[in-house]
C-alpha cells in the first residue's frame, strides 16, 4: 500500500496551554489574493491569513521549481526556518518544507525570488499561525451506540457468514434506470459498516466489512494512474504505521493500492475527495482553532471550526494549495448561531461540504452560509456567491437553498445543482434536489427543476444530487436512509431505502467492473431432498450464472446443475449428492470466470 501525505489529527499544540482571551480568527481584510510575483505564483498559506497551521508547508504554484528561490522564512518568535524546496510531480511549482514547526500565534514572513531568464523578481508576504483549540479534539460528533439489530435489518449469507450488511428494501423498480451500479457506505445502524456496491436492481454486489469502531463515507468511482478505481474516506485508516482518517484508493480487484493523507498537520474530512486529471486531489479538512467570538455573540475564549480545502500532489504528498474559508468569508455570513462556540463545541460557521474544479475556477459549497462560492483558482479569491446573505445573484422564486450539500456546476456554467436539505433548523417543509439556471450576464438564478420524495423527507445533514446519462437524476437523501432515481421529466424510476437507523453520506451511481482475485465461495447444506449449495463471489460484477460441478474424484468434476445468478448469493439444489463439489462463475457468454475451492459433501 502506498502512503501519500502526512498524518496528524488537528494541529497539536507544541507548547503549554494557551492563555485567554483567544485571538481574532478573521483577517482585517478579507478575500486577499494569493497571487504573487505579478500574478505568476499562487502561494499558501494565504497572504495576511491568521489561521495557518503551525506545521504548514509554504506552497508556490504556477511556475517550475527551478525558477524559484526561497531567500528566507522567518517566524517572529521561532526565528529563521531552514528547510527544503521540494518540486511537485506536475512540474508547476514546489513546497518549502520547514525543518521544524512554527510557533502558534507568531507572524511568519516569507521572502522568495522568481527567476525569469536573467530577470529576477523578488516577492514576499506574511501570515499568522493559528492557536490550536486543544480542548476539542474532534469536530465530528460520533453517533450514539446503535440499538441491537433486528433480524430483518441485516443481510445474511450461508457462503459468507462473515458479511452482515444492512438490508435494502426496494419499493420502486421500473427497469428504466440509467446503466450503472449504486455506491454507498452505510453507518450508524446496528450492523456492520463499510463501503457497499449494489446492482441496478438494488441487490448486493460488494461489501467490505470494516473493523468495529471504523466508518467509511463518500464511496465513488474515479480515475487514478489511468485506470478506474474506488475511493472512500475512512476513519480510522490504519496503514503504514499511521492511524487516523484518510482516503483509500482500491483497484478493480478491490486491492487497496494507496492511502491518502492530508498535509500541513491536518486530517482529511469525509465531505469531498476529487482526483484531478493532473494527478492531484482536492479534499476538505475541518480543524478547531481558538477564536474570540464576542463580536458574534459567542465567548471571548471561544473556538471556531476552521474549514478548508487542500490540493495535494498524489505522488509526493506535497500541498500544492490550501484555501481557508476564514480568509475569504465573514463570520457574519453564517446562519448558524455562534453560541456556544466554546472550546468544547467550536462554532461551525461555514461547514464546507463540496469542492470541484472547472478549468480556471473552483466551486465551494457551504452548508452554514447557505452559499455556493465560485473561486478564481489562481488567486483563491471569491468571484461570486450564489445564495446566502450576500448573494451575487438575484434569486428567483423557489431558488434559494438552505443548509444545502453537493453543489455542482455544468461544464458551460449555465446551471448548478444542489441537494437542498432545508433543515435543521427547519427552513423548508422537506428536502429537495434542485437545478438552477444561472444567467451571469444579468446575475439571476432561476429554479428549473425540483425533485422531492413521495414520502416527504427532511434530511438534517448529508445528501447528494447527481446527473446521470440520458438525462436521469440520482438522489441520495442524506441522513434519511433513502435513495432514488428520477427520469428527465421528474418521474420516479427507482426508490429504495436502508433500515431506519442507518445513514449513508452519499449514494452515487457509476459504471463499474469488479474482478476480485479471491476465489468464489461455496457452502453446502444437506436437505431432505438431497443437497443445497450456496455460491457467491464478493465484488464480481460480470457473473451472469453459476454452474455446479460434482463427482467422486476431486480432480475430475463435471457439470451437475446450472442456474442464473439471483443476487449476491445464488442457491442451487440438486437431488443427487456427489462426494465432491465446486461452483463456477460464468459470464453472459457462458465463459468461466473463476471456480471455487472444491468442497466435500
What pLDDT, in 10s, does the model give residues 160-169? 999 999 999 9
pLDDT tens, position by position, 502-529: 999 999 999 999 999 999 999 999 888 8
Q: Kindly report the CATH number assigned to the domain that includes residue 283.
A: 2.120.10.80
Task: Please tell me what DSSP assigns to residue 494.
Answer: E
- 500, 525: one domain: no
- Residue 559 sits in the same domain as residue 479: no
**pTM assigned to the model:** 0.94
Q: Which of 139-148, 258-267, 311-320, 557-566 has the lowest mean pLDDT?
A: 139-148
Domain finish residue from 128, 159, 185: 128
Cis (ω within 30 of 0) for the bond into 270?
A: no
Q: Is residue 269 part of a domain?
A: yes
Q: What is the CATH number of the domain that holds 121?
A: 2.60.40
Q: C-alpha cell of 308?
A: 478548508
Residue 438 confidence (pLDDT) above 70: yes
How far apart CA 576 and CA 552 sit, in angstroms, is 12
Question: What's 578's domain CATH number?
Answer: 2.60.40.10
Domain membership of residue 535 (yes or no) is: yes
Query: 476 with 507: CB under 8 angstroms?
Result: yes
In the 8-state DSSP scheme, what is residue 445? Answer: E
Same domain, 418 and 526: no
Q: How many whole angstroms separate alpha carbon 554 and alpha carbon 547?
A: 16
- pLDDT, residue 241, reads 83
Rounded Cα–Cα distance for residues 304 and 324 (Å): 12
H helical segments located in 366-421: none
Q: How many CB atoms lie within 10 A of CB 454?
A: 10
Read off the pLDDT band of 73 (50, 70, 90). Answer: very high
Same domain, 277 and 416: yes
Q: Is the pLDDT of residue 135 over 90?
A: no
535 and 449 in a common domain: no
Coil, strand or helix at 377:
coil
Say how far apart CA 460 and CA 191 lie, in whole Å. 22
Mark whether 324 and 445 lie in a shared domain: yes
Whether residues 498 and 566 share a domain: the answer is: no
The answer to whether residue 143 scores a pLDDT higher than 70 is: no
Instruction: Give the span between the Cα atoms of 409 and 542, in whole angstroms.
Output: 33
* Pairwise CA distance, residues 291 & 296, whole Å: 11
Is residue 3 domain-resident?
Answer: no
Q: Which of 482, 510, 538 is the last residue of a domain?
A: 510
Distance, CA of 546 to CA of 592 (rounded, Å) = 9
Co-location of 439 and 571 in the same domain: no
Residues 178 and 64 in one domain: no
Q: Which residue in 193, 211, 189 sits closest to 498, CA to CA?
A: 189
Q: Is residue 473 part of a domain?
A: yes
What would the pLDDT profile of 242-285 be if each residue is shown by its tens digit? 899 999 999 999 999 999 999 999 999 999 999 999 999 999 99
Q: What is the mean pLDDT of residues 449-468?
A: 97
| Coil/strand/helix, residue 433 | strand
Mean pLDDT for 373-386 is 98
Q: What is the DSSP letter of 265?
A: T
| pLDDT tens digits for range 322-332 | 999 999 999 99
Supply the pLDDT for residue 20: 66
Average pLDDT over residues 417-439: 97
Q: What average pLDDT does this structure show over 68-89?
A: 98
d(CA 471, CA 78): 57
Q: Which three cell numbers stand for residue 402?
A: 438552505
Regarding whether 228 and 297 lie in a shared domain, the answer is yes
144 pLDDT above the threshold of 80:
no
Strands 256-260 and 2-4: parallel
- Among 491, 510, 529, where does a domain finish? 510
Residue range(s) defining the domain that contains residue 104: 26-128
Question: Are 55 and 11 within 8 A, CB to CB?
Answer: yes
Q: Is residue 223 part of a domain?
A: yes
Tell me how many domains the chain contains. Answer: 3
Shared-domain flag, residues 235 and 164: yes
Return the sign of the alpha-carbon dihedral for residues 389, 391, 396, 402.
negative
Residue 591 belongs to some domain of the structure: yes
Query: Would residue 5 count as lying in a domain?
Result: no
Neighbours of 101 (CB within 10 A): 18
What is the pLDDT at residue 117?
A: 85
pLDDT digits (tens, 9 = 90+) for 206-252: 999 999 999 999 999 999 999 999 999 999 999 888 899 999 999 99
Inter-CA distances, 272 with 311, 377, 380, 562, Å: 12, 17, 18, 44
Residue 138: per-residue pLDDT: 55
Same domain as 119, residue 214: no
Q: Considering the domain boundaries, does residue 227 fall inside one?
A: yes
Amino acid at each position: 500500500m502506498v502512503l501519500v501525505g502526512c498524518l496528524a489529527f488537528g494541529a497539536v499544540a507544541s507548547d503549554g496551554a494557551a492563555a485567554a482571551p483567544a485571538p481574532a480568527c478573521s483577517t482585517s481584510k478579507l478575500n486577499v489574493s494569493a497571487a504573487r510575483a505579478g500574478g505568476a505564483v499562487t502561494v499558501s498559506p494565504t497572504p495576511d491569513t491568521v489561521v495557518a497551521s503551525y506545521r504548514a508547508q509554504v506552497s508556490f504554484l504556477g511556475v517550475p521549481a527551478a525558477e524559484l528561490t526561497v531567500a528566507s522564512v522567518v517566524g517572529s518568535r521561532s526565528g529563521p526556518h531552514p528547510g527544503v524546496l521540494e518540486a511537485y510531480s506536475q512540474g508547476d511549482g514546489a513546497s518549502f518544507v520547514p525543518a521544524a514547526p512554527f510557533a502558534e500565534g507568531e507572524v511568519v514572513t516569507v521572502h522568495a525570488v522568481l527567476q525569469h531568464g536573467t530577470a529576477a523578481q523578488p516577492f514576499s508576504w506574511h501570515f499568522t499561525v493559528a492557536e490550536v483549540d486543544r480542548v476539542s479534539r474532534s469536530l465530528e460528533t460520533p453517533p450514539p451506540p446503535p440499538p441491537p439489530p433486528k433480524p430483518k435489518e441485516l443481510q445474511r449469507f450461508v457462503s459468507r457468514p462473515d458479511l452482515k450488511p444492512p438490508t435494502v428494501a426496494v419499493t420502486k423498480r421500473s427497469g428504466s434506470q440509467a446503466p450503472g451500479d449504486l455506491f454507498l457506505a452505510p453507518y450508524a445502524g446496528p450492523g456492520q459498516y463499510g463501503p457497499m456496491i449494489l446492482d441496478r436492481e438494488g441487490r448486493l454486489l460488494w461489501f467490505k466489512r470494516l473493523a468495529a469502531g471504523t466508518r467509511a463515507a463518500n464511496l465513488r468511482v474515479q480515475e487514478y494512474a489511468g485506470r478506474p478505481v474506488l475511493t472512500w474516506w475512512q476513519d480510522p485508516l490504519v496503514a503504514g504505521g499511521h492511524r487516523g482518517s484518510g482516503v483509500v484508493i482500491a483497484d478493480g480487484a478491490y486491492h487497496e493500492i494507496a492511502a491518502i493523507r492530508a498535509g500541513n498537520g491536518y486530517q482529511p474530512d469525509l465531505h469531498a475527495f476529487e482526483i484531478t486529471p493532473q494527478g492531484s486531489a482536492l479534499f476538505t479538512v475541518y480543524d478547531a482553532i481558538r477564536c474570540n467570538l464576542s463580536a458574534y455573540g459567542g465567548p471571548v475564549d471561544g473556538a471556531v471550526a476552521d474549514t478548508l480545502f487542500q490540493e495535494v500532489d498524489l505522488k509526493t504528498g506535497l500541498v500544492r494549495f490550501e484555501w481557508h474559508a476564514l480568509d475569504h468569508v465573514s463570520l457574519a455570513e453564517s446562519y448558524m448561531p455562534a453560541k456556544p462556540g466554546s472550546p468544547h463545541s467550536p462554532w461551525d460557521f461555514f461547514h464546507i461540504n463540496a469542492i470541484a474544479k472547472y478549468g480556471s475556477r473552483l466551486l465551494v459549497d457551504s452548508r452554514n452560509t447557505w452559499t455556493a462560492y465560485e473561486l478564481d483558482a489562481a488567486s483563491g479569491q471569491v468571484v461570486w456567491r450564489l445564495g446566502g446573505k450576500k448573494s451575487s445573484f438575484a434569486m428567483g422564486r423557489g431558488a434559494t437553498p438552505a443548509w444545502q450539500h453537493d453543489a455542482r456546476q455544468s461544464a458551460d456554467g449555465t446551471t448548478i445543482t444542489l441537494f437542498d436539505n432545508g433543515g435543521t433548523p427547519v427552513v423548508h417543509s422537506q428536502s429537495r434536489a434542485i437545478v438552477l439556471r444561472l444567467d451571469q450576464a444579468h446575475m439571476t438564478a432561476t429554479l428549473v427543476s425540483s425533485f422531492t420524495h413521495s414520502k416527504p423527507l427532511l434530511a438534517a445533514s448529508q445528501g447528494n444530487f447527481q446527473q446521470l446519462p440520458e438525462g436521469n437524476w440520482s438522489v441520495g437523501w442524506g441522513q434519511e436512509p433513502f435513495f432514488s432515481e428520477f427520469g428527465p421529466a421528474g418521474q420516479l424510476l427507482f426508490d429504495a431505502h436502508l433500515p431506519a437507523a442507518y445513514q449513508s453520506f452519499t449514494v452515487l451511481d457509476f459504471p463499474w467492473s469488479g474482478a476480485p482475485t479471491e476465489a468464489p465461495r461455496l457452502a453446502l447444506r444437506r436437505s431432505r431432498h438431497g443437497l443445497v449449495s450456496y455460491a457467491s463471489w464478493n465484488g464480481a460484477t460480470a457473473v451472469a450464472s453459476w454452474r455446479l460441478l460434482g463427482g467422486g474424484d476431486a480432480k475430475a468434476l463435471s457439470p451437475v446443475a446450472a442456474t442464473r445468478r439471483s443476487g449476491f448469493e445464488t442457491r442451487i439444489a440438486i437431488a443427487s449428492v456427489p462426494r465432491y463439489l465446486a461452483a463456477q462463475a460464468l459470464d453472459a457468454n457462458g465463459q468461466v470466470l473463476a471456480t471455487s475451492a472444491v468442497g466435500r459433501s
